[in-house]
Structure 1
Amino acid sequence: MGSFLSFPLLTAPDCYELPSYEESSEDEDEADLSSELHKANLRFCESIVRQGMRSRNEQDNFDRYRHNWSEVVAEMRDKYPQWTPRDFLNLRHQFNVFDSNDLYLLDFNNFNKALDYNQDNSSPELRRAMFDSVDTHHYNSINFEEYLQLLNNFHIGTPIPRAPKTESIKDPVCLDIIADVKKADPFVGMSHSLF
C-alpha cells in the first residue's frame, strides 16, 4: 500500500549488547582521566584567553600612544631621561617590527631578535633572567613599557638605531600626492572631501 518496496526479514537483525556498568574500577579510571583532561584543557584555554585579554589591553595602549604621543613621551622621559623623543619613536617602531604576531606583545624569541638587532652581546641566560624579571605575570610575553624597561637595563645611555626599512617604505608617488594635497587651497580640499 505504501510507495516504498518492503521485503520480509529473512534473518534476525544483529543485536549488540551494551557493556554493563557494574565494573567500577574502569569507570573510576575513565572519570579520573576525563577530569584530568578537563583541567588541562581549562589551563590551556585560560592562558589563551588571558593572552587575548592582555593583547586587547595593549592595543588600547597603542591607540593611546597614537593619539596622545606627546603626553606619553613626557611620561616616558621622566622614567628614561637618557632617551630623546625621537629615540622613543624609534623604539616604538622597533617594537612593532619585532611583534611578528601583531598582538602588541613580544615573546622571548622576538625579544632576542630585538636584542640581536641592537647588537647586544649578553648571554642567553642573562637575557632569559632579565625577561623573566619583567614578565611578573608569567605570560611569556612583554608589552612596550616592559620592553623599554628591559632595553634601559641592557643599554643605559646608548644610542638607539632607527627601525629597519622605515626609510625605504616611502613611496615617491605617495609623497608627490601628499605634497599636492598640502598645496591645495581650502575650497579644493573641501570639494574633494579632504577635510
Structure 2
Amino acid sequence: MGSFLTFPLMTAPDCYELPSYEESSEDEEEADLASELHKANQRFCKSIVQEGMRSRNEQANFDGYRHNWSEVVDEMKKKYPQWTPRDFLNLRHQFKVFDSNDIYLLDFNDFNKALDYNQDNSSPEQRRAMFDSVDTHHYNSINFEEYLQLLNNFNIGTPIPRAPKTEAIKDPVCLDIISDVNKADPFIGMCHGLF
C-alpha cells in the first residue's frame, strides 16, 4: 500500500475524437497567399543579406588596408602608376566620405557625387555605363578597388583636389561636403578620422 489513496475505475474514461478536418477553399487560398508572401520575402531578403555579407567583407578589406597600408600602396602603384601614395590615401578617405550608408560600398548615387566632386563632365548615361562595366556581379554597388578602377578609366589625374589654402571656396559641391562634415556626429567623425 502506498501513501496515496487509490480508487478503482468505476466507469471507463471519456474519449474524445477529433473531428475529421476537411480543407476548405478559404484555407487553400490562405496557404497559397502565405506561400507567395514567403517567396517574395525570400527574394527581398536575399539582396539585403548579400549586401550585408559583402559589406562585412569590404570592412575586413578596409581594416587590412589600415594594417598593411604600405604593401597595399605598393600593389596599387603597379596598377595605377600616375597616383602617389598620398593620392591613394586621399582616395581611401574620399571613398569613405562618399559612402553615405557606411557599408564600405558606393551605390550609383554615391558614385555620381564623387564624380561631381572631382569635376567630371561626363553624361549620366556614360557614368551608368562605366559603373555597370565594373559592377559585373550586378550588386548595384562598387567596392574601393572597383572605385579606383573607375576613377582611372575617367582619367582623373590627381584624384582629389587639395584642401584650399584660403576660406574663399566657390565650388558648391565642395561647400556641401564641408557642410556635411561639420554636421557629422563627433563620434562618427572620429571613426572616419576627421579629427
Instruction: Specify the alignment match of 1:34 in structure 2.
Output: 34
Gaps of 5+ in 2: 1-20, 164-176, 183-195
SS of equivalent residue, structure 2 residue 78: helix
The within-5 A match list for 1:145-184 is 145-156=145-156, 158-160=157-159, 161-162=161-162
Cα deviation, 1:15-39, whole Å, max 9, x if unaligned, reads: xxxxx96543x44433332222111
Cα deviation, 1:68-94, whole Å, max 9, x if unaligned, reads: 111000010111111111111111111
Alpha-carbon offset, residue 143 of structure 1: 0.6
The within-5 A match list for 1:95-174 is 95-156=95-156, 158-160=157-159, 161-162=161-162
**2:66 aligned with 1:86, yes or no?**
no
Instruction: Specify the alignment match of 1:52 in structure 2.
Output: 52
Task: State TM-score, norm by structure 1.
Answer: 0.68
Q: Which amino acid aligns with 2:61?
A: N
Taking structure 1 as reference, are residues 81 and 44 closer, same or farther at Cα in structure 2, changes over 3 Å only? same
Alpha-carbon offset, residue 149 of structure 1: 0.6
Instruction: Specify the alignment match of 1:191 in structure 2.
Output: none
Q: Which amino acid aligns with 2:115?
A: L
Aligned-partner Cα distance in 1 for 2:65–2:76:
11
Taking structure 1 as reference, are residues 37 and 150 closer, same or farther at Cα in structure 2, changes over 3 Å only? same
Q: How many residues align?
A: 146
Taking structure 1 as reference, are residues 162 and 95 closer, same or farther at Cα in structure 2, changes over 3 Å only? farther
Q: Which amino acid aligns with 1:121?
A: N
Aligned-partner Cα distance in 2 for 1:154–1:125:
14
SS of equivalent residue, structure 1 residue 142: coil
Aligned-partner Cα distance in 2 for 1:23–1:100:
51
Alpha-carbon offset, residue 125 of structure 1: 1.1
Aligned-partner Cα distance in 1 for 2:45–2:162:
38
Task: State TM-score, norm by structure 2.
Answer: 0.68
Aligned-partner Cα distance in 2 for 1:162–1:54:
31
Alpha-carbon offset, residue 132 of structure 1: 1.3
Instruction: Specify the alignment match of 1:3 in structure 2.
Output: none
SS of equivalent residue, structure 1 residue 152: helix
How much identity, in percent, do the aligned residues show? Answer: 82
The within-5 A match list for 1:4-23 is 22-23=23-24
**2:45 aligned with 1:72, yes or no?**
no
CA contact (8 A) 1:94 1:162 kept: no
